[in-house]
Amino acid sequence: MRGKSGDMYLLAGFSGLMITLYLAFNWAPSVDINAFQSPEAQRIFYWHVPAAWAAFIAFTVLFIGSALWFFKRSPLGWKLHIAGSEAGLACGLMAVWSGCVWGAAEWGTPWDWEDFRLNTFGLLTLLALFLVLGRKSQPDGVESRDTFSTFGLYGFVLVPITYIATRIWVIRHPGPVIAGDENSSISGDMALVLMIGALSFTVLIIGHIMTSIEITKFEQRIDRLQKELDGE
């Protein structure tokens, strides 16, 4: 039943994303052509920002799961760690990739090594990649779980740093459009599309995490059955 719920959330989230894309390209108002080098590329915003938001949710789940495993040896904690790392990788890559496309169009360069927030977010995504690939390369056991959950715990320190960097070190990458300073605001229609995107990504992430937990349960069950067959 829980597996079906995860599927429903995934379906709902995916549908919401398709609606967001449609609205972004066909309905959302255009921006002032004097304010942007590449006004049409600005529409990537409706994908890029929600993806980054969803990535932060995933990294938070990763942190909670890592802490639960590290301090309590909680099996649920380990499942959350796996789910959070995979979801964080997916959303992180979506945010980074869309950002690079937008940056190439708007700034003339896909990346800015001097931008603190870009680099910390990129590092978070690399951390998620490391956790996903690294875990698949190792046999399951307390040694690998302890090691990877430690990285998940320490890596989370980059999340508040990235968040603060959006407000303090605004260099090339623009600051937040919601809950930022007095210059941060967007029009009602743009905000609506952005909210739909954010909601869709949130629902998608929740579905991803629920499905991932179910998959991990099945994998662990297969592992147990194999050990029984081995006579252990």
| 170 scored as a contact of another protein (CB under 8 A) | no
Out of 139, 183, 188, 231, the residue judged to bind another protein by CB under 8 A: 139
| 127 scored as a contact of another protein (CB under 8 A) | yes
CA distance 163 to 166: 5
Minimum CB distance to another protein smaller for 23 or for 87: 87
The H or E element containing residue 219 is helix 188-230
The least CB distance from residue 96 to another protein, in Å, is 12
From the list 98, 83, 90, the residue with the least C-alpha distance to 173 is 98
Place of tokens 């605001």: 185
Out of 76, 142, 178, 222, the residue judged to bind another protein by CB under 8 A: 142
Q: Are 169 and 110 in contact (CB under 8 A)?
A: no
Q: Are 126 and 58 in contact (CB under 8 A)?
A: no
Out of 130, 166, 167, 172, the residue judged to bind another protein by CB under 8 A: 130
| 133 scored as a contact of another protein (CB under 8 A) | yes
CA distance 53 to 34: 28
| 95 scored as a contact of another protein (CB under 8 A) | no
List residues binding another protein (CB under 8 A).
Answer: 113-114, 116, 119, 122-123, 126-127, 129-130, 133-134, 137-144, 146-147, 150-151
